[in-house]
Amino acid sequence: MFSRILASTIIAASAATSYGQQRPSLEGLPEILRLAVSRADSLRYTGVRVVNVRARGAQRETVEYITRDGDRIRIDFPNDSAFSGQVIIEDPTERRHYLPGQNEVRVLPPRRGESLLRLVASLARFRQERKVSVENGSLIAGRLTRLLLVADQRGNPLQKLYIDPTTGAVLKSEVYDFVGTSVGSYEFKSIEFKDKIDSRLFKVSRKGLRTVSPQTEANELTTKLNLRQIQIPREFGFRLESARVIRPEGEPILAQMFSSNTGRLTVFQTRADLKSDRLSKFARGEISTRTWRVGGINFAVVGPKSTNFDRVADRLKRDLGGQ
Amino acid sequence: MKNENQLDEKLASDSMKSIAKLVKDLPEEIPSMNWRSQLNERILAEAKPKPKLELQRWLLRPALGLGLAAALAVAFVIRPVASDATGSSVESLMIATHQDDVNYASVTGAGLSVSEMKDYSSPTPVSDPLLDLDVF
């Protein structure tokens, strides 16, 4: 847990510094990283990538078929995947996740640019605390790469990006915690760059599809659980990404995840006992927490340490009638 | 029964009687009180606990000192993984949920998010087999 907190703090803390900043400055960054960022919205390819993520001791692996046309991306899944039949289509304005089994499409905020932009924001902010080096990378998906290594001051790796120097595509990415264990990674197993991608691939037409937004989902859950509806005003730049119950047994806890261009925060509400000092203890001072209680419901906001977090928490508390 | 008779006969023989007489005539040795007293003192001395000084010397041996220092470091200096943070307390669950979300987003980009992985992992047939191109 400790190492996981540290790893995500790198991301979260760096993100906290640049809320509302669409494109962090690329000045002073290695040429290969500038290439990757500048080409991010113009690449065209199809490929297969394997994503590995470790969470709470469990390793999850998914295989994704990627079709990318500039700032649009389509993700399909193999027939033997638990997500077979589902399709994700994302453009700069929204992300649409098709669930044929339920005949639903879930409309979400776009997420594609998050990881690269956060890295750039982190490097800009923690220029003194981070060491960035470039060396020859390995052969990924049949292409020789350049390895961009981001490390702490002692040289411990925090993130590795394997970038194709010809196209600027990030073919492999690994994120590490502070004890050097991989928190997660993705790697392209094959990739084929294209001059043109059929634009029909980014349209899904199914009659009778039910459109579900995270807000719809959140509203249904808050009604069902007799909890409060939560909205972060647009001026803060956060959009609701998902809402789910994280402890189905006993007293339920509703978790609502919000994302902005460069940061993520989670708002919880529950009728279960909640101790503010224990929450702070688990956060270890590396992420921000705020709690309050109104009408028998305990609220908690967890997010990156930043003044913007404080503003959001203050506003939510005020809107919900907290003292 | 036959063996018993033979044994009785052997014990009643002259040679055995002379041996029995020799044993009977041996002087009886009674342990002296002085000897018993000395023995008791030795037993008491052995049973006494080792002096504390000896224990302290043992504790202060260099190897043990290093071990003790390492144990104290683990306990107080190095921040251990909070054992209850991996449990199911409301507070630890909240922090872990947030961290998972941040980690997943940093790695997967446009790929499946943590909530999507958990909520939507139900495969759907890609197409009706009758509509495969091979059929036509």
ipTM: 0.74
Q: What pLDDT score does A16 carry?
A: 37
Same domain, A146 and A227: no
Alpha carbon distance A91, A271 (integer Å): 38
Of B91, B100, B104, the CB nearest to A279: B91
Residue A208 lies in a domain: no
For residues A223 and B69, the model is more confident at A223
Residue A207 lies in a domain: no
State the DSSP H helix or E strand holding residue A61, giving kind and residue range, or none if neither. strand A58-69
For residues A149 and B111, the model is more confident at A149
* DSSP structural state of residue A2: H
Beta bridge partners of A61: A52
Residue B33 lies in a domain: no
Q: What pLDDT score does A165 carry?
A: 96
The range of the structural domain enclosing residue B101 comes to 81-111
Task: Confirm if A124 and A18 have CB atoms less than 8 A apart.
Answer: yes
Q: Which of A23-32, A214-223, B64-73 has the lowest mean pLDDT?
A: B64-73
CA geometry: angle at A253 spanning A248 and A256, to 5°? 115
Which pLDDT band holds residue B73 (cuts at 50, 70, 90)?
A: low
How many domains does one find in chain A? 2
The range of the structural domain enclosing residue A94 comes to 2-202
Chain B residues with at least one Cβ partner in A under 8 Å: 79-82, 85-86, 88-126
Q: What pLDDT score does B3 carry?
A: 67
A96-122: per-residue pLDDT in tens? 999 888 888 988 888 766 667 777 777
End-of-domain residue from the set A176, A202, A228: A202
End-of-domain residue from the set A174, A202, A230: A202
Same domain, A167 and A194: yes
Alpha carbon distance A279, B91 (integer Å): 5
* DSSP structural state of residue A22: S
Task: Confirm if A287 and B96 have CB atoms less than 8 A apart.
Answer: no
Residue B91 lies in a domain: yes
For residues A61 and B34, the model is more confident at A61
Same domain, A65 and A173: yes
What are the backbone angles phi and psi of residue B62, rounded to the nearest 5°? -55, -45
DSSP assignment string, B77-102:
IS-PPPGGGGTT-HHHHHHHHHHHHH
In three-state secondary structure terms, A239 is strand
Residue of B nearest to A271 (CA): B90
Percent of chain B with pLDDT over 70: 40
pTM given for the model: 0.65
Closest C-alpha to A268, from A260, A281, A258, A277: A258
What are the strands of the beta sheet with A264-270, ordered from one edge? A239-245, A253-259, A264-270, A297-303, A288-294
**Interface contact flag, B95 A283, Cβ < 8 Å:** yes
Residue B2 lies in a domain: no
Q: What pLDDT score does B22 carry?
A: 75
* Confidence check: pLDDT of A123 > 80: no
Residue of A nearest to B86 (CA): A1
Query: Measured between beta carbons, which residues in chain A are less than 8 angstroms from residue B99?
Result: 1, 4-5, 8, 287
Same domain, A6 and A149: yes
Most confident option among A217-221, B42-46, B76-80, B100-104: A217-221
CB atoms within 10 A of CB A270: 24
Which pLDDT band holds residue A274 (cuts at 50, 70, 90)?
A: very high
Of A55, A64, A302, the CB nearest to B103: A55
End-of-domain residue from the set A202, A231, A263: A202
Same domain, B48 and B70: yes
Strands A210-212 and A104-108 come out as parallel
Residue of A nearest to B110 (CA): A112
Q: How far, CA to CA in Å, does B33 sit from each of A84, B29, B37, B38? A: 96, 12, 6, 9
Same domain, B53 and B71: yes
In three-state secondary structure terms, B33 is helix
Give the number of beta-carbon pairs within 8 Å between A and B: 187
How many domains does one find in chain B? 2
Task: Confirm if A18 and A304 have CB atoms less than 8 A apart.
Answer: no
Q: Please report, for the domain that includes residue A309, its CATH number.
A: 3.30.200.100
Inter-axis angle of helices B90-108 and A2-16, nearest 10: 60
pLDDT average, residue stretch A243-265? 85
Residue B62 lies in a domain: yes
Same domain, B72 and B88: no
State the smallest CA–CA distance between residue B130 and chain A in angstroms.
16
Residue B122 lies in a domain: no
**Interface contact flag, B103 A175, Cβ < 8 Å:** yes
Of A1, A11, A265, the CB nearest to B85: A1
Same domain, B57 and B85: no
